[in-house]
Amino acid sequence: MERSSMTFWRRFRLNDIMWRIFRFFILFGLSFIILYPLIYMISRAFSAPEDMNDPTVVWIPKHLTLSVIKETMEVMDYWNTLFNTLILNIGCCIVQVISCAITGYGFARFRFKFRGVLFGIVIMMILVPVQIIAIPQYMIFRYFGPFNLINNPLCMYLPAAMGCGIKSGIMIFIFRQSFRGLPKEFEDAAYLDGCGPFRAFWSVLVPNVKSSILTVFLFSVVWYWNDFYVSSTFFDKNQTIALSLKNLNTLLSQTLFDGANVSVREQIVWLEAGCLLSVVPILIMYIFLQKHFTEGIERSGLAG
Amino acid sequence: MKHFKLGFEKRRSLYGYGFISVWFIGAVIFFIIPLVQSFIYSFYDIKPDVGGMTGEFVGLEKYNYALNEDANYRSYLFSVLKETFWKTPLIMIFSLFIAVVLNQKFRGRTFARAIFFLPAIIATGPVYSIISGNMASTGSSGSDSFSTMFSSDLFGKLMYFLGIYDISETVTKAVEAVENDVFGIVWNAGIQILMFMAALQNIPSSSREAAIIEGATEWEYFWKITFPSVSPMILACFIFTVIDSFTDPKNAVMIRIGTMQIDWKYGEASAMAWIYFAIVLASVGVISLIINKFIYYEVE
């Protein structure tokens, strides 16, 4: 008995050490794959255009410079665009998360006629890409009763508030799955204590799916930030960061180069600077949320 | 007593309608009407006009064009379907594995997590496609050196070292396809990792303690506790992965549809899109039904 437990522990420790080494190599290698394009981006954003024609420069630029980034900021009208994007982004995400959570709960916990058919619509919303419905949607906002809502932020806010924003379908789906995973006793207890369904939803169920809410909110922020297709349908001007990055090529040749001949290789410097500028704000936001996310994990672990 | 029960059930179903009502109105205005319109367009020769679209009815002509006359559509369709079907299981296995690893306690975990979620944040936007385009255009200093250093050589040698190099032609080919696309898999798995991690965090730590006391090994713990607990997420993850690859604006079919729209051949574009989605819808539906049989829900 004693001996077998000794061998068990020895094997256990050996396995443990092997696993640690294996884990380290896996994580290190994959991290490298992920970071490779980003290292490339940073390296190019800080180099001067002439470095692109120098074969001896591989990663570290010879002429370290900030002027390219400054020029790109001017071309993109960076601070104004950033402010516009943040207002649009955060507003849409908050209303979208709320509307999707309510809808997901309705689908998870109530039996009603046509539930299957209505949930089929949610699945369709996941399946159908925006490209298909973009032009009819444009027509709806162009002739929205007596109004022309094109170029008005309302044409992003309205669908988001009604649970039909960018990728709302998948969010409703995630909320439904996580509400279904909760034990039914939660609500029964709340009902016995005299709560109505809305109160039970708000004060009992919502606090229990906090980690799902944070995940969905993170998705939502990211998707709205990265979207250029929907906003290019509804906006004529470059009102968001993703849109002005997508059109950075044209913007650069219109304003900065002004007819001067800049080779494709040299243009990479400005393009990568634009990429860096549009990634940095979302990265800062992400680091901030990441911290909350890990805290949420440990709290739910303790609660369980 | 019976009366009260019926009333209660009925009230509950009314509350159900209450919870989904806002979404339903939105879905009718912003989703169903545009969808029906786009379906109608696929039977018409469409032109934009003041106040809406005008056109004449041409029947199935546009569908015929998409399937039989367009030079590239059919081959694009097959290649996209094939790629999605072999990539989806790989992405899901990979992301579940990484999520389990990142859920363990080790030094530098927060940092590792931060790196693995990065693709989820960047990959959907214009940034990644611009960077990979630039990397390809600078050639030797970018992706080439990376691939010789990382995928083919190193991996091949490792397989040779382990003695599992030349089992059969098909295995070697399959392995090669995977290793050449390791970039695509890793960069497309970010959100799936996040979804699995959220599911893993909802497993109470008491179940782990109970399992250790009962003498379960890691392997048993994974199959008996972890896997059933994340199984609702597997369905969500599967659907997400398939749809993400089908609706990716960078895939060949979507590019073809996009160029048709730019040329204002909106009837043809709609017809192509509808053929594409009939196939996607059918395959996702069938596989979801199969997966749904194996899912474990806390509440039935």
DSSP per-residue letters across B263-276: TT-HHHHHHHHHHH
Its sign, for the CA torsion A260, A266, A272, A277, is: negative
Chain B segment 162-191 residues within 8 A of A by beta carbon are: 182-183, 186-187, 191
CATH of the domain at A121: 1.10.3720.10
In chain B, which residues have their Cβ closer than 8 Å to the Cβ of A184?
Answer: 299
Asked, for residue A133, whether it belongs to a domain, the answer is: yes
Q: Which of A286-290, B82-86, B148-152, B271-275 has the lowest mean pLDDT?
A: B148-152
Share of chain A above pLDDT 90, in %: 8
Q: State the residue range of the domain holding A211.
A: 77-246
Return the higher-pLDDT residue of B105 and B166.
B105
Its sign, for the CA torsion B103, A219, B248, B64, is: positive
- Averaged pLDDT for residues B46-55: 69
Tens of pLDDT, residue by residue over A186-239, are 888 888 888 888 888 888 888 888 777 887 887 788 888 888 878 887 887 767
Nearest 5°: phi and psi at A29?
-60, -45
| Residue B26: pLDDT band with limits 50, 70, 90 | very high
Chain A segment 255-274 residues within 8 A of B by beta carbon are: 264-265, 268, 271-272, 274
pLDDT at A100: 92
Q: At a CB cut-off of 8 Å and minimum separation 6, what does A95 contact?
A: A157, A160, A161
Q: Are residues B186 and A182, on separate chains, in Cβ contact within 8 Å?
A: no
Asked, for residue A114, whether it belongs to a domain, the answer is: yes
The alpha-carbon gap from A125 to the nearest alpha carbon of chain B, in Å, equals 7
Decide: A138 and A234 in contact? Cβ < 8 Å. Answer: yes
Question: What is the number of structural domains in chain A?
Answer: 1
- Averaged pLDDT for residues A12-16: 75
The alpha-carbon gap from A258 to the nearest alpha carbon of chain B, in Å, equals 22
Q: Are residues A31 and B32, on separate chains, in Cβ contact within 8 Å?
A: no
pLDDT at B139: 53
| Residue A299: pLDDT band with limits 50, 70, 90 | very low
Asked, for residue A145, whether it belongs to a domain, the answer is: yes
Asked, for residue A33, whether it belongs to a domain, the answer is: no
Residue of B nearest to A137 (CA): B34
| Residue B237: pLDDT band with limits 50, 70, 90 | confident
Asked, for residue A236, whether it belongs to a domain, the answer is: yes
Chain B segment 64-123 residues within 8 A of A by beta carbon are: 98, 101, 104, 106, 110, 112-122
Report the C-alpha gap between A199 and A221 in whole angstroms.
27
Residue B243 touches partner A, C-beta closer than 8 Å = yes
Please name which of B83, B92, B120 lies closest in space to residue B239, comparing C-alpha atoms.
B92
Asked, for residue A234, whether it belongs to a domain, the answer is: yes
Chain B segment 4-43 residues within 8 A of A by beta carbon are: 9, 12-20, 22-27, 29-35, 37-38
Residue of B nearest to A112 (CA): B13
Instruction: Report the residue of A16, A27, A53, A92 to disrupt the B interface, i.e. the one with the largest count of B CBs within 10 Å.
Output: A27
Q: At a CB cut-off of 8 Å and minimum separation 6, what does A236 contact?
A: A150, A151
Asked, for residue A214, whether it belongs to a domain, the answer is: yes
Report the C-alpha gap between A156 and A235 in whole angstroms.
10
pLDDT at B213: 84
Residue A27 touches partner B, C-beta closer than 8 Å = yes
Report the C-alpha gap between B147 and B154 in whole angstroms.
10
Tens of pLDDT, residue by residue over B52-65, are 667 777 778 778 88
Q: Are residues A245 and B239, on separate chains, in Cβ contact within 8 Å?
A: no
Report the C-alpha gap between A272 and B134 in whole angstroms.
8
Instruction: Report the residue of B19, B217, B230 to disrupt the A interface, i.e. the one with the largest count of A CBs within 10 Å.
Output: B19
Q: Are residues A112 and B31, on separate chains, in Cβ contact within 8 Å?
A: no
Tens of pLDDT, residue by residue over A123-172, are 888 878 787 888 788 888 888 777 787 888 888 898 999 988 888 888 89
The domains located in chain B, with CATH, are 68-140+181-293 (1.10.3720.10)
The alpha-carbon gap from B98 to the nearest alpha carbon of chain A, in Å, equals 9
Asked, for residue A265, whether it belongs to a domain, the answer is: no
Q: What is the pTM of this model?
A: 0.77
Tens of pLDDT, residue by residue over A69-108, are 888 888 888 899 899 888 888 899 999 999 999 999 999 8
Return the higher-pLDDT residue of B145 and A25.
A25
Nearest to B19 among A105, A170, A227 (CB): A105
